């Protein structure tokens, strides 16, 4: 397990995070290795979800694990959210591209998703609760939508110093990368 690739995190406000990701066209060993590297990066950073643009790749791939148990690891390639439903819930979300920043985001509790796994096998499933929330957050990344876009004005103000610091570090070319929290 020591040979797993780990990637550098792409941090806000890197413009790559704003680009729409492209569909995966080729399934196979290379994609599976990439997915393993995404999991390794996510785990090392103590995250519960990660989208490919967050490791510098404009691909429609996301990984998540809501519990940390191996059996709950989930890979969604070329995901589509077919339906969002259920009560709107508020949750304090974090994001590996925004180290140290949290903000309450409102999202519907459930979603129905169509996607492929890393080998190209189709998946269609319903998710709810924390898992559904992570999927919706990571899916946003594939569209170039970020935590900062979902923040209330109050949360933006509360996080202003931390956001400004990220911008400052990016401009200075010394991103606060791989800082675990
Ligand atoms: Co995120």
Q: What pLDDT is attached to residue 120?
A: 96
Distance CA 72, CA 159 (A): 31
pTM: 0.93
What spacing in Å lies between the alpha carbon of 130 and ligand 1's midpoint? 14
Among the listed residues 159, 87, 75, the one whose alpha carbon sits nearest the alpha carbon of residue 125: 75
Q: What pLDDT is attached to residue 176?
A: 58
pLDDT at 27 over 50: yes
DSSP string, 153-168: HHHHHHTHHHHHHHHH
What spacing in Å lies between the alpha carbon of 25 and ligand 1's midpoint? 24
What spacing in Å lies between the alpha carbon of 131 and ligand 1's midpoint? 14
Q: Which residues contact 169 (CB under 8 A, 6 or more apart)?
A: 11, 175, 176
Q: What pLDDT is attached to residue 3?
A: 58
At residue 174 the predicted structure's pLDDT band, cuts being 50, 70 and 90, is confident
At residue 181 the predicted structure's pLDDT band, cuts being 50, 70 and 90, is very low
Answer with the residue of higher pLDDT: 4 or 131: 131
Q: How large is the average pLDDT for residues 148-173?
A: 95
At residue 4 the predicted structure's pLDDT band, cuts being 50, 70 and 90, is low
Distance CA 130, CA 149 (A): 20
What spacing in Å lies between the alpha carbon of 79 and ligand 1's midpoint? 16
Q: How large is the average pLDDT for residues 147-155?
A: 96
Q: How large is the average pLDDT for residues 113-124?
A: 97
Each residue's pLDDT tens digit, 81-118: 999 999 999 999 999 999 999 999 999 999 999 999 99
Active-site residue set: 138
Q: Which residues contact 52 (CB under 8 A, 6 or more apart)?
A: 21, 34, 38, 58, 59, 60, 61, 62, 142
Bridge partners, residue 49, by sequence: 64
Query: Picking from 3-7, 16-20, 41-45, 61-65, which range would have the lowest pLDDT averaged per residue?
Result: 3-7
Query: Where on the phi/psi map is residue 69: left (φ > 0), alpha (ψ -120 to 50), or beta?
Result: beta
What spacing in Å lies between the alpha carbon of 154 and ligand 1's midpoint? 20
What spacing in Å lies between the alpha carbon of 67 and ligand 1's midpoint? 17
pLDDT at 22 over 50: yes
Q: What pLDDT is attached to residue 180?
A: 38
At residue 175 the predicted structure's pLDDT band, cuts being 50, 70 and 90, is low
Distance CA 46, CA 119 (A): 25
Distance CA 13, CA 38 (A): 20
What spacing in Å lies between the alpha carbon of 73 and ligand 1's midpoint? 17
Distance CA 60, CA 78 (A): 5
């Amino acid at each position: 397990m020591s040979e797993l690739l780990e990637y550098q995190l792409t941090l806000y406000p890197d413009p790559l995070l704003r680009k729409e990701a492209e569909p995966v066209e080729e399934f196979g060993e290379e994609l599976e290795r990439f997915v393993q590297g995404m999991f390794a990066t996510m785990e090392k950073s103590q995250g519960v979800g990660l989208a490919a643009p967050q490791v510098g790749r404009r691909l429609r791939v996301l990984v998540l694990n809501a519990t940390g148990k191996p059996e709950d690891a989930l890979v969604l390639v070329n995901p589509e959210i077919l339906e969002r439903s259920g009560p709107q819930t508020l949750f304090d979300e974090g994001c590996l591209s925004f180290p140290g920043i949290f903000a309450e985001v409102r999202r519907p509790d459930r979603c129905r998703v169509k996607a492929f796994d890393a080998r190209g096998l189709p998946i269609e499933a319903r998710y709810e609760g924390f898992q559904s929330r992570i999927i919706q957050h990571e899916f946003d990344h594939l569209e170039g939508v970020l935590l900062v876009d979902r923040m209330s004005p109050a949360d933006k103000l509360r996080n202003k110093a931390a956001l400004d610091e990220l911008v400052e570090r990016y401009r200075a070319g010394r991103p606060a990368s791989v800082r675990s929290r």
